[in-house]
Each structure stands twice: as C-alpha cells, then as structure tokens.
C-alpha cells in the first residue's frame, strides 16, 4: 500500500558516511577466476570493479567506519545516538544482531539496536522506519545503516552472480528539523510469491547448515537474473509513478534519482520508461558493483561529498530486490 505522508514532517539527514574495504576486485581479476571477460561484464552490467572484505572482517566492522563518519558530520557524540537500525542480509552472526555489535563498537551506550532484512530494499525500509521514530518524537538521533558483505554469500565459480556483487557500508543520522525536510511520500512493498527469485536456500530454520548444504553450495545466493531484471525495471518505474502521484509532484521536479545500483541496464531501463534525463540519475555501480543495502547510502554520501545535493532539493530514493521487495520515497533535502 502506498502511504502519503504530511508535506512537513521535519526530518533531516543530518550526516552521512560510507566505507568500502581495501581489496579491489576488477573485471580482469574475474577473468582469471571464471569464464567471463571484462567486455562481457561491462556490456551486461556496467560494472568495472567492486570491493571485497578481508577474512575475519564482519559487516559490523564496515558499519563502524561509515557510522563514525555520519556521526561526525552530524556534529553529535557517539553516546547521543538513541537508536540504531542496521539493514543487512549478512549480519556477523545469526544471533545477536549486527546492530547490537555496532552499538558496542561505536560506544553508543544509550541506543537501542535492531537489524532489518529487506535485501537490496533494506536502506529504503530503514530510512522510513527510522523517520517514524523522529516524527513521533520518540528519539532525537537515529542511526540508519545499510551494510552487506555479499562476498560472504557469493559463489565465485558462478559467473552470473560473482560479477555483480561487492561489499560496502553506508550510514545516515536522522534528526528532527524545524523546516520542511523529510519524506513527502513513500511506499514499502513486497511480492513474497517471488521469494525464490533471489534466495540463499540453506542456513535458516527450514534448511539448517549441513554437510549436504555445503556440498550443494546452498549457502550461496541464487538469483533468477532475467526475472529480477524485468521486475526491477517494470516495478520500479510503476512505483515511482505512484509515489509521485501521491505527493502531487511532477517527475521533472525531482532533482536527483537515487536508484539501487544493481545493474546499469536496469537504471537505463527505468530512465527510458519514465523519460528521466540521464543527468538526474546518480550512478556509481561501475566502481562498487551491487552492494545491496549499502548501495543507496553510498550513492547519497558521494553525492553530498561532491556538493551535488543542495538544501530544498527533491530526491527520489528507490530500492528493489530480495523478497521480492521495493521501497520508494521522495525526500526534501
């Protein structure tokens, strides 16, 4: 269901940050690992390189770096954080949550903490969830993190998936704002009937990890690429139109579109369907690949650091992925 929010919610993104690991894996490296080529990867995905975390590094470790940046840029102390929401499909452990570990590592001693699993839509879900705690006055400083180490669930003998995925983290601090910043409209959606289009079959309660699951590589992500591509282009375009209608905003008034960086051809498809000028679609997939829940906050932080985002501008965030799920919001900066 699409929900229209008030036009004056007074929520601002007070600070943001991102972090990727040191190790870079480019397409030429992948040519030595699987039956693929730099030309094939670029043509099919638009990706040139991605970053992989070192052994012994967990999602919470990447999240620490991006979160400390966000806290610093917001001008607050670590202990001022009231709530931590971590969107991830690759927590350090099944239990406890990645957010619990992050809370301890950054010294956010007053903060509640929980994880949110919505795949590549995770940051969009986390952004809107965190906003509600600000809107209703429960908290003053909410840390929302998107982080995934997709290399941990990637089969590097499967060229259909390993060329796409990378590791990274992005964080934002949400605060109350006396102005007109915040979400003007949003929708969070799911089509659970297509749950197996993107799935890690083993490791959960239905199929616990076993010798058989290891032999079958069922602990790695599996994806129906064609089905996901069609879903991403068609559903994203449709939902963007719905949210624009709910907010009573014409598409040409959106200053920048921040779409999940899954595949360059998906971004191009949405651009064509909605006749969005390419200059308004922010792109960094060539340098990071698909970082799942980290994709949108990394994209946002780079744009802020480059001075592209100005006060009063309208941004449209759109996440889509496992579930199958989607989350779209129009945000006044």
Nearest-angstrom CA–CA distance, 172 and 174: 6
Nearest-angstrom CA–CA distance, 59 and 8: 35
**Secondary structure of residue 65 in the 3-state scheme:** helix
Is 120 marked active-site? yes
Identify the burial level of 286 via C-beta atoms within 10 angstroms of its C-beta, where 0-12 means exposed, 13-18 middle and 19 or more buried.
middle
Contact between residue 307 and residue 325 where contact means Cβ atoms under 8 Å apart: no
**Secondary structure of residue 139 in the 3-state scheme:** coil
The residue from 27, 98, 141, 260 that is catalytic is 260
Is 160 marked active-site? no
Sorted by sequence, the CB contacts under 8 Å of residue 117 that are 6+ apart come out as 87, 88, 89
Side by side, the strands of the sheet bearing 83-87 are 11-19, 167-176, 141-149, 83-87, 112-116
The residue from 16, 98, 120, 162 that is catalytic is 120
Sorted by sequence, the CB contacts under 8 Å of residue 251 that are 6+ apart come out as 240, 241, 244, 274, 275, 276
Is 27 marked active-site? no
At 207, list the tokens: 């199929």
At 135, list the tokens: 């809107």
Nearest-angstrom CA–CA distance, 131 and 73: 19
The residue from 27, 78, 141, 290 that is catalytic is 290
What residues are labeled active site? 120, 260, 290
């Amino acid at each position: 269901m699409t929900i229209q929010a008030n036009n004056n919610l007074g929520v601002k993104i007070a600070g943001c940050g991102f972090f990727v690991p040191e190790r870079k894996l480019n397409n030429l490296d992948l040519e030595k690992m699987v039956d693929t080529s730099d030309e094939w990867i670029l043509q099919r995905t638009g990706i040139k390189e991605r970053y992989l975390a070192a052994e012994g590094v967990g999602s919470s470790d990447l999240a620490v770096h991006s979160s400390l940046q966000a806290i610093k840029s917001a001008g607050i102390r670590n202990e001022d954080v009231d709530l931590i929401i971590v969107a991830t499909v690759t927590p350090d452990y099944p239990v406890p949550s990645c957010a619990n570990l992050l809370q301890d590592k950054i010294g956010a001693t007053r903060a509640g903490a929980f994880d949110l699993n919505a795949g590549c839509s995770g940051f969009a879900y986390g952004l809107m969830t965190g906003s509600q705690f600000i809107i209703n006055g429960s908290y003053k400083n909410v840390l929302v993190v998107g982080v995934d180490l997709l290399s941990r669930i990637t089969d590097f003998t499967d060229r259909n998936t390993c060329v796409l995925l990378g590791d990274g983290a992005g964080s934002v601090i949400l605060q109350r704002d006396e102005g007109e910043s915040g979400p003007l409209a949003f929708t969070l959606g799911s089509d659970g009937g297509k749950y197996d289009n993107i799935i890690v079959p083993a490791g959960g309660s239905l199929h616990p990890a076993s010798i058989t699951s290891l032999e079958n590589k069922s602990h790695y992500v599996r994806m129906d690429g064609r089905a996901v591509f069609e879903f991403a282009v068609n559903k994203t375009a449709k939902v963007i139109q719905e949210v624009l209608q709910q907010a009573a905003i014409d598409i040409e008034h959106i200053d920048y579109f921040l779409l999940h960086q899954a595949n360059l051809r998906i971004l191009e498809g949405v651009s064509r369907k909605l006749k969005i000028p390419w200059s308004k679609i922010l792109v960094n997939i060539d340098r990071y690949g698909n970082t799942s829940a980290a994709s949108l906050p990394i994209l946002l932080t780079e744009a802020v650091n480059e001075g592209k985002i100005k006060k009063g501008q309208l941004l449209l965030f759109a996440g889509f992925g496992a579930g199958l799920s989607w989350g779209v919001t129009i945000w006044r900066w």
